[in-house]
Amino acid sequence: MDEKTRDDLLKLFQSKLNEAMRLYLETCTRCGVCTEACHVYASMGQTRYIAAYRHEIVRRIYKKYFKGRGKVWPSVGESKELTEMALQELYDAAYSCTGCRRCMVYCPFGIDTQTLMSIAKLLLVGAHAEPEVLTMLADTSIEKGKSLEFFKESFLTGIKNLEAEVVKKWKMEAGETPIPVDVEGADLLYVALAGAHSIIPAAAIFNAAKENWTLSFFEAVNFGAFVGDPTRTKLILERIINEAKRLRVKEVSICECGTAYRVMKQLSGKQPFKVSSITEAHARYIREGKIKLDKTKIKEPVTYHDPCQIARNGGVIDEPRYILSNLTNDFRDMTPDVRYNWCCGGGGGLVALGEDNLDFRMKSSKVKVDQVKQTGAKILATACENCHSQLSDLNKHYSMGVKVRFLSSMIADALVQ
C-alpha cells in the first residue's frame, strides 16, 4: 500500500473518532466475557469470531497511528501497520459481523462491536475493497433520489398493478384509492421496500384502519448503512426526510426492515414528524380498535424472531407480542429472551451478498436454528426483510419445516371486514 493511500485511509479512520469511539477503542480489557456472545463463534467455534478479537483488529491499527504507545512501545499492545493484509483482516472481521450487538449485552463496559466495525467498513470503502454490490445498490438509491421525475412514471404504473391485490385483502368503497401516492397533507408516510410483499399487506391494513396515508416513492432500505459509508447513508436517508417534509406528514412509518427503521429513528435528528416502525403502527390500530383480527385464521403454533435492529437496538419489543396475542392463542416466545436473542445471521448487509456468502451464513447461524426448533412452532414470524430472507434460507438448508412469515402479511390475512 502506498503512502498516499494509507494517509487517506487514516484520515477516514480519524473521521470516525469521537468520545464513544475512543472509549470503545481504549477500554477493552480482553477479559473474554463476550466469548459466547457472537452467534458466529457459538456456531463455528473459531476464535477470530469472538467480539474482542474482532475489536483488536481495528484497535491494533488505532494503537499504531493514534496512540503515543504505538510509537514508543508498539509491542505492548501489538499495534499493527495498515497494510493490504490488514485490510483483508478488516474485511473478514466486518463482513462476518451482522451488527446485532448481542456482545454489547455481555461486555462489562458495553463496548459496541457494530460501531467499531463501522471503522473497518469505512476503511474498506476508502480502499475500494468493500463488497461492490452494496455500494452499487447504495448508489442506485441515491440516483433515484436525484432524478425522481425519471422514475416516477414506471413507479406509478407498477403501483397501479398492485391495487387489485390490495382490494382482494380489504374491499374498498368506489372512488377510494387503494394505494395513495404523493398525497400532500396525509397523516402518515409509509416507506416500503421494492417488492409487492412489502406494499400489498401494509396497504390493506392502512385502508382497513382508515388511515390517511400515502406511499413513499422511495424504498426504505439503506445500503449506505450496510456498507458503512456515512455520506451515502445520509444521502439515502435525506430523500425520505425531504419527501416527508414536502408532504407535511405527521408520521413516517418504516416497513419491515430493521436497518431502515433504526437509521430513520436514530439518525434523522429532530424533525416535524415522528418515526415509527410499521409494527408499532399495527399494534396501535389493534389497541385503538381500528382493525379487528380473526384469531381462527392461524391454526399452528407461532414463534417470533426479534430483528436485532428493531428489538435490541430499536426498542420495539412489546408491540409484536401484542399483535401476536391478537392473532393466535398459541404463541411461543423464544428462549433466551429478547436481550439475548440470537441474530438470524443475515444482518449488516450479509444477506444482500446472496450466494457469495451463503455457506458462511448457514454455518454461522446454527444456534438460531436450534433456538427456533426449541419452541416447536410451525410458523416463524418476523418483521424484517433481511431476517425473513436469511430465515427462509436457514429453513431450507436445515429442513426446519417451518413457515417463515412477515408479521404484516399475517395481520392482513386475518383482517375482519
Among 40, 42, 56, 365, binds another protein (CB under 8 A): 56
Cell of 280: 408499532
| E strand or H helix at 368 | helix 366-375
Among 107, 249, 381, 387, binds another protein (CB under 8 A): 107
Among 7, 78, 176, 238, binds another protein (CB under 8 A): 78
Region near another protein per CB under 8 A, out of 32-40, 188-196, 354-362, 384-392: 32-40
> Cα–Cα distances in Å, from 149 out to 143, 185, 235, 241?
11, 21, 18, 18
User: Residue 32, interface with another protein (CB under 8 A)?
Assistant: yes
Region near another protein per CB under 8 A, out of 50-58, 87-95, 191-199, 402-410: 50-58
Non-local CB neighbours of 107 within 8 Å, separated by 6+ positions: 33, 34, 37, 51
Q: Minimum distance between the CB of residue 262 and another protein, rounded to whole angstroms?
A: 9
Cell numbers 457459538 correspond to what residue?
Answer: 42
Provide the Cα torsion 157, 161, 163, 164; round to 10°: 160
Region near another protein per CB under 8 A, out of 76-84, 185-193, 199-207, 324-332: 76-84
# residues contacting another protein (CB under 8 A):
50
CB neighbour class for 36 (10 Å; exposed up to 12, middle 13-18, buried from 19): middle
Contact 216/189 with Cβ under 8 angstroms?
yes
**Comparison of 192 and 235: residue with beta carbon closer to another protein:** 235
Alpha helices in 67-131 (DSSP H): 68-72, 84-94, 103-106, 113-126
Cell numbers 404523493 correspond to what residue?
Answer: 182
Whether a cis peptide bond, with omega within 30° of 0, leads into 336 is: yes
User: Residue 160, interface with another protein (CB under 8 A)?
Assistant: no
Among 9, 13, 24, 99, binds another protein (CB under 8 A): 24
User: Residue 36, interface with another protein (CB under 8 A)?
Assistant: yes
User: Residue 76, interface with another protein (CB under 8 A)?
Assistant: yes
User: Residue 195, interface with another protein (CB under 8 A)?
Assistant: no
Among 44, 172, 183, 267, binds another protein (CB under 8 A): 267
Q: Minimum distance between the CB of residue 299 and another protein, rounded to whole angstroms?
A: 31
Tell me how many degrees the CA angle 221-226-228 measures, rounded to the nearest 5. Answer: 130
Among 1, 44, 105, 193, binds another protein (CB under 8 A): 105
Residue numbers 303-322 binding another protein by CB under 8 A: 311-315, 317
Contact 109/201 with Cβ under 8 angstroms?
no
Contact 167/178 with Cβ under 8 angstroms?
yes
Q: Minimum distance between the CB of residue 263 and another protein, rounded to whole angstroms?
A: 9
Contact 341/384 with Cβ under 8 angstroms?
no
**Comparison of 22 and 287: residue with beta carbon closer to another protein:** 22
Among 38, 57, 99, 112, binds another protein (CB under 8 A): 112
φ/ψ of 18, rounded to 5, equals -130, -170
**Comparison of 29 and 140: residue with beta carbon closer to another protein:** 29
User: Residue 270, interface with another protein (CB under 8 A)?
Assistant: no
Cell of 154: 414506471
User: Residue 231, interface with another protein (CB under 8 A)?
Assistant: no
Residues that bind another protein (CB under 8 A): 17-24, 26-33, 35-36, 47, 50, 52-53, 56, 68-69, 75-78, 101, 104-112, 115, 266-267, 311-315, 317, 338-339
